């Protein structure tokens, strides 16, 4: 459960690219549902990965820990897919700069 | 106690003369433990990042909820030092709200609310946030009726949440609605086009024109709040609770349920829109001048161990949770955690709001024993929003006492016969004692014809007493269904008594509780009926207990479609739409037309549908039974996000 920080993330600097955020989401997803890492970016995340709402909270926690940020409820409420979640988190990180 | 020092010129001096002064660089922080050096005499303004948490000892004589109204309770608490403390998902203190500040801010806000009209409903999105407390008590001073609304959204669930909010706003005919900043976007959208004076944040409410003076204080007969009781998204029911009802309940809880001392301190992650979180903790702690450390429910769901960390850090003595909260914690613990925690001060570990399985409590107690947690701290209780909150408490300091009964006579005759000696596990069923009803309650356990039953016979629990609701708001029919003309409440719960102690064995009402979440079958049936292949009254939902003893939702749907591929698709679609809307896994069974049993009046019978489903299931092979839910070993998956009352 204890996530070793993603080295590319921990390195800091200009790391907020969508590609990196997406890979973190997939990394987090792998710990919750190993079979779902190859999920299509536009597929419905909870449904296709078959996550109930407690598992979704686990996923959000994993992402928060890997990226070391808090994901507000507004962001998760608007994201049904990996791509939407990636875009939402990218916006968050931009807002934090 | 910890003080954070930050910024140039930060300085702190202690009573015992131990000087501790240093000029800090900009942005530099220091955390120092005051308990190591004594009480602080002076802390200069630059030093304070956040005020320290409010002390446990209020400094005024403890009064145990012996007030006539919620306003009187806060007026008294405001004379002391105690209050609310808000922690974030990293366990960091982000805001404090001493009761004296809560009162001052509520009174200041009340003059802006009073013009909205006495007795009108003000909806409050009940996120764990100091602004909610201010708005709730401002309503009290202004003579308005606050209506807490849920503050919980699924992944991608923006639209569903907005629909739900909108329906509740309409149901309670809100004149205005508040949300803290994190939720105000949802609220604005939900209120679009509704005839309300304002849907906004506390800031915006403070801009409303003000009355010249505070209105007269609330009468004990006036409503204190509306509390939505069910998780039903389409059939909401708001319990109307008067000042006298809630105060009668709080008085009984804190004088007969469990008594408090000057040193007691609460810690809570329970949602503010849950009766246990709102009435038991928010209102209860104001009425007993206790300090509370709050963790938002969403953060608890993500990081349950934070609950224990906060308990340990501030030496909290009282905390409540539904059973699944204890289960979630126990399963997330790491081996080293228990040794880093000190839970020896935790003397009341309340447990209620759903059926209590003794094993889950034992698991928690065993895991946390190295941290000094004592299983005797468990305090089982029974209650519901229709009774303000609590009906009964077990004996304080007695832990969870169980009654082991013969499962066969229970199923066959509804009799809970005690088992003694070594009996096969398969023949036993253990129930947790929830104590005797609080003073003021009359309790009857009735059979199906309405005749009172004697000890150890299972029947429907009926209650009468001063803390029972006035009815469901704007829903005379639903009120009549549960409240008799003589004031008896039909709880819909099934249980038995032994020497006055109540044991809850199940529910007669249709409500399902799946992983701590209230689910009403009509909501699942409605979803099914939205599918083109399904006609009205072709779906029946209920819950069964799986092999692990957990409640699982089942939806049986009649369908005329002959093509097996299309059937499989429909089944999959229903499973997904329920997962999306409610965040639960549901077993879906498609059957041919005229399979579902009906009552003599032609209505679908959920209990008969359930019985026949179990018969079909038993007749088939286990493969179908287990289904995707249980087969994936999701026992530990616990819903903590939405704990509707």
Tell me if B580 and A58 make a contact (CB, 8 A cut-off).
Answer: no
What interhelical angle do B99-113 and B130-142 show, nearest 10? 60
Residue B529 belongs to domain spanning: 512-631
Q: Measured between beta carbons, which residues in chain B are less than 8 angstroms from residue A52?
A: 515, 579, 583-585, 634, 637, 639
Q: pLDDT-based confidence at B427, cuts 50/70/90?
A: confident
Residues of B in contact with A42 (CB under 8 A): none
Please check whether residue B585 touches A, CB under 8 A: yes
Q: How confident is the model at residue B50 (pLDDT cuts 50, 70, 90)?
A: low
Of B153, B155, B298, the CB nearest to A46: B155
What is the length of chain A? 97
pLDDT at site B176: 98
Q: Is residue B330 part of a domain?
A: no
Q: How far is CA B604 from the centre of its chain?
A: 31
The mean pLDDT of B228-255, rounded to a whole number, is 88
Q: Which domains does chain A have, with CATH numbers?
A: 7-96 (1.10.1200.10)
First CA to last CA distance, chain A: 29
CA A8 to chain B, closest CA, distance in angstroms equals 23
Burial (0-12, 13-18, 19+ Cβ within 10 Å), B589: middle
B561: pLDDT confidence band, cut at 50, 70 and 90?
Answer: confident
Report the candidate in B375, B346, B370 with the shortest Cα–Cα distance to residue B360: B375
Contact B637 A55 (CB under 8 A): yes
Express the helix, strand and coil content of chain B in percent, nearest 5 each.
Answer: 35, 25, 40
* Strand duo B390-393 + B436-437: pairing: antiparallel
Provide, as residue numbers in chain A, all residues whose Cβ is less than 8 Å from the Cβ of B298.
57, 73
Confirm if B224 and B218 have CB atoms less than 8 A apart: yes
- Name beta bridge partners: B588: B555
The pair phi, psi for residue B45, each rounded to 5°, is: -60, -35
**Cβ proximity of B429 and B355 under 8 Å:** no
Residue B394 to chain A, least CA–CA distance (Å): 30
Residue B320 maps to a domain: no
Q: Which two three-digit tokens encode residue B265?
A: 């301190």
Q: Is residue B296 part of a domain?
A: yes
Q: Is residue B374 domain-shared with residue B500, that is, in the same domain? A: yes
Judge whether B515 is closer than 8 Å to chain A, CB to CB.
yes
- The total domain count for chain B is 4
Helix (H), strand (E) at residue B72: helix B70-77
Q: Closest residue of A to B184, CA-based?
A: A74
Q: Strands of B266-268's sheet, edge to edge?
A: B93-98, B83-87, B292-294, B266-268, B318-321, B348-351, B378-383, B390-393, B436-437
**B605: pLDDT confidence band, cut at 50, 70 and 90?**
confident
Interface of A with B (CB under 8 A): 1-2, 44-47, 50-61, 64, 70, 72-74, 76-81, 84
pLDDT at site B604: 76
Those residues whose C-beta lies under 8 Å from the C-beta of residue B373, and which sit 6 or more positions away, are: B343, B344, B346, B349, B364, B365
Among A2, A54, A76, the residue with its CB nearest the CB of B640 is A54
Structure token pair of residue B96: 């404090």
pLDDT in tens, B348-397: 999 987 778 788 899 999 999 999 999 999 999 999 999 999 999 999 99
Closest CA–CA distance from residue B608 to any residue of chain A (Å): 29
Asked if B528 and B479 sit in the same domain, the reply is no
Among B273, B303, B333, give the residue marking a domain's end: B303
For residue B386, give both structure tokens: 């229709």
* Domain match, B369 and B440 both: yes
Least confident span in B190-194, B591-595, B599-603, B613-617: B599-603
Pair B8, B65 in one domain: no
Rounded CA gap, B328 and B334, in Å?
12
Per residue in A22-36, pLDDT (tens digit) is 999 999 999 888 888
| pLDDT recorded at residue B234 | 63
Per-residue pLDDT tens over the stretch B284-317: 999 999 999 999 999 998 999 999 999 999 999 9
Residues 615-634 of B with CB under 8 A from A: 628, 634
* B576–chain A Cβ distance below 8 A for any pair: yes
Report the distance separating Cα B7 and Cα B23, nearest Å.
Answer: 8
Which of A45-54, B106-115, B326-335: highest mean pLDDT? B106-115
Which helix (H) or strand (E) segment holds residue B98: the answer is strand B93-98
The answer to whether residues B20 and B61 belong to one domain is: no
Whether B413 and B539 share a structural domain: no
Instruction: Report whether pLDDT(B2) > 60.
Output: no
- Out of B49, B65, B88, a domain closes at B49
Which residues neighbour B414 within 8 Å (Cβ) at sequence distance 6 or greater? B457, B458, B459
Using the 3D structure, point to which of B9, B34, B49 is the last residue of a domain: B49
Give the confidence band of A42 by pLDDT, cuts at 50, 70, 90.
very high
Residues B517 and B504 occupy one common structural domain: no
Q: What is the pLDDT of residue B606?
A: 85
- Check which CATH number belongs to the domain holding B612 and give it: 3.30.300.30
Q: Is B32 helix (H, G, I), strand (E, B) or coil?
A: strand
Q: How far apart are CA B26 and CA B47, in angstroms?
A: 11
pLDDT per residue as tens digits for the range B63-118? 999 999 999 999 999 999 999 999 999 899 999 999 999 999 999 999 999 999 99
| Chain A interface includes B583 (CB < 8 A) | yes
pLDDT in tens, B521-554: 888 888 898 888 888 788 999 999 887 778 899 9
In angstroms, rounded to a whole number, what is the distance separating the alpha carbons of residues B558 and B307?
45
Whether B376 is in a domain gets the answer: yes
Coil vs helix vs strand at B440 = coil
Q: Considering the domain boundaries, does residue B329 fall inside one?
A: no
B319 and B267 Cβ atoms separated by less than 8 Å:
yes
From CA A66, how far away is CA A68, in angstroms rounded?
A: 6
Examine the domain organization and report whether B115 and B214 are in the same domain. yes
Residues B527 and B502 in one domain: no
Across the A:B interface, residue pairs with CB atoms under 8 Å apart total 89
> Which has the closest alpha carbon to B321: B640, B1, B552?
B640
Closest CA to A53 of B583, B426, B170, B173: B583
B178 belongs to a structural domain: yes
Is the CB of B154 less than 8 angstroms away from the CB of A45?
A: no
Q: Is B301 in Cβ contact with A57 (below 8 Å)? A: yes
Q: What is the mean pLDDT of chain B?
A: 86
Q: What is the pTM of this model?
A: 0.80
What's the DSSP call for residue B469? -
Q: Which of B240, B164, B254, B182 is nearest to B583 (CA)?
A: B164
Residue B315 located in a structural domain: no
Whether B65 and B36 map to the same domain: the answer is no
Inter-residue contact B155 to A72 (CB < 8 Å): no
Q: Is the domain of B544 the same as that of B487?
A: no
DSSP code string of B291-307: -EEE--HHHHHH-THHH
Query: Are B302 and A64 a contacting pair at CB < 8 A?
Result: yes
Which pLDDT band, with edges at 50, 70 and 90, does B160 fall under? confident
Which of B127, B155, B572 would you mutate first to test chain A, the one with the most A CBs within 10 A?
A: B155
Give the residue from A60, A73, A85 with the most B CB atoms within 10 Å of its CB, the best one to mutate. A73
Nearest chain A Cα distance for residue B251, angstroms: 36
Among B156, B158, B585, beta carbon nearest to A52: B585
pLDDT of residue B49: 52
Cβ-contact B317, B287 below 8 angstroms: no
Measured CA distances, B609 to B553, B557, B594, B625 (Å): 13, 10, 12, 16
* Chain center to CA of B238: 15
* Mean pLDDT (whole number) for A79-92: 93
B610 & B480 share domain: no
Residue A97 has a pLDDT of: 61
| B154 and A CB contact within 8 Å | yes
Task: Give yes or no for residue A50 having a pLDDT over 90.
Answer: no
Whether B611 maps to a domain, the answer reads yes
């Amino acid at each position: 459960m204890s996530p070793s920080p993603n080295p590319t993330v921990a390195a800091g600097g200009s790391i907020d690219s969508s590609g990196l955020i997406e890979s973190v989401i997939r990394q987090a997803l792998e710990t919750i549902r190993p079979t779902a890492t190859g999920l299509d970016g536009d597929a419905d995340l909870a449904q296709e990965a078959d996550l109930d709402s407690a598992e979704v909270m686990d996923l959000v926690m994993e992402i928060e820990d890997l990226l070391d940020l808090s994901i507000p409820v507004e962001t998760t409420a608007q994201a049904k897919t990996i791509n939407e979640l990636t875009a939402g988190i990218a916006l968050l990180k931009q807002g934090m700069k | 106690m910890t003080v954070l020092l930050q910024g140039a010129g930060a300085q702190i001096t202690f009573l015992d003369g131990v000087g501790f002064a240093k000029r800090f660089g900009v942005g530099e922080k220091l955390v120092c433990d005051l308990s190591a050096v004594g009480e602080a005499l002076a802390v200069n303004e630059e030093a304070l990042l956040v005020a320290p948490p409010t002390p446990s000892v209020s400094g005024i004589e403890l009064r145990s909820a012996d007030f006539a109204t919620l306003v009187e309770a806060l007026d008294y608490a405001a004379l002391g030092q105690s209050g609310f403390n808000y922690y974030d998902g990293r366990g960091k203190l982000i805001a404090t709200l001493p009761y004296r500040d809560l009162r001052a801010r509520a009174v200041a806000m009340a003059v802006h609310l009073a013009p909205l009209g006495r007795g009108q409903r003000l909806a409050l999105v009940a996120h764990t946030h100091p602004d909610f407390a201010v708005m709730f008590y401002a309503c009290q001073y202004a003579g308005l009726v606050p209506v807490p609304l849920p503050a919980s959204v699924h992944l991608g669930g923006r639209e569903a949440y907005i629909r739900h909010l909108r329906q509740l706003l309409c149901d309670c005919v809100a004149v205005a609605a508040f949300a803290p900043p994190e939720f105000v976007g949802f609220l604005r959208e939900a209120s679009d086009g509704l005839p309300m004076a304002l849907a906004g944040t506390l800031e915006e409410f403070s801009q409303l024109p003000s009355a010249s003076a505070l209105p007269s204080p609330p009468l004990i007969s006036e409503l204190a709040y509306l509390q939505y009781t069910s998780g039903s998204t389409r059939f909401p029911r708001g319990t109307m609770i008067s000042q006298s009802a809630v105060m009668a309940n709080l008085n009984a809880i804190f004088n007969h349920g469990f008594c408090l001392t000057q040193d007691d301190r609460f810690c809570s992650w329970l949602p503010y829109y849950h009766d246990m979180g709102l009435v038991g903790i928010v209102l209860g702690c104001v009425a007993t001048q206790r300090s509370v450390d709050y963790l938002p429910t969403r953060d608890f769901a993500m990081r349950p161990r934070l609950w224990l960390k906060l308990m340990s850090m501030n030496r909290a003595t009282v905390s409540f949770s539904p059973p699944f909260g204890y289960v979630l914690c126990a399963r997330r613990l790491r081996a080293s955690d228990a040794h880093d925690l000190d839970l020896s001060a935790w003397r009341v570990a309340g447990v209620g709001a759903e059926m209590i399985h003794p094993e889950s409590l034992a698991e928690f107690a065993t895991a946390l024993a190295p941290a000094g947690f004592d299983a005797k701290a468990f305090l089982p209780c029974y209650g519901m929003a229709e009774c303000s909150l609590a009906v009964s408490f077990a004996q304080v300091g007695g832990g969870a006492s169980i009654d082991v009964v013969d499962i066969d006579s229970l199923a066959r005759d509804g009799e809970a016969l005690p088992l003694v000696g070594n009996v096969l596990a398969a023949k036993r069923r253990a129930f947790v004692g929830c104590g005797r009803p609080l003073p003021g309650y009359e309790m009857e356990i009735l059979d199906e014809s309405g005749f009172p039953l004697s000890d150890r016979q299972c029947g429907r629990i009926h209650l009468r007493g001063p803390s029972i609701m006035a009815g469901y708001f704007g829903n005379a029919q639903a009120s009549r269904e549960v409240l008799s003309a003589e004031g008896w409440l039909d709880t819909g719960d099934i249980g038995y008594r032994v020497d006055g102690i109540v044991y809850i064995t199940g529910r007669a009402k249709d409500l399902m509780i799946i992983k701590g979440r209230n689910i009403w079958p009509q909501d699942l049936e409605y979803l099914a009926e939205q599918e083109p292949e399904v006609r009205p009254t072709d779906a029946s939902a209920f819950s069964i207990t799986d092999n692990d003893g957990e409640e699982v939702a089942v939806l049986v749907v009649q369908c005329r479609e002959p093509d097996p591929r299309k059937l499989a698709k429909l089944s999959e679609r229903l499973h997904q739409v329920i997962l999306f809307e409610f965040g639960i896994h549901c077993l879906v069974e498609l059957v041919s037309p005229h399979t579902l049993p009906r009552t003599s009046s032609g209505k679908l019978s959920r209990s008969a549908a359930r019985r026949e489903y179990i018969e079909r299931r038993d007749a088939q092979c286990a493969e179908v039974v287990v289904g995707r839910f249980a087969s994936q070993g999701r026992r530990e998956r616990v819903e903590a996000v939405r704990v509707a009352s």
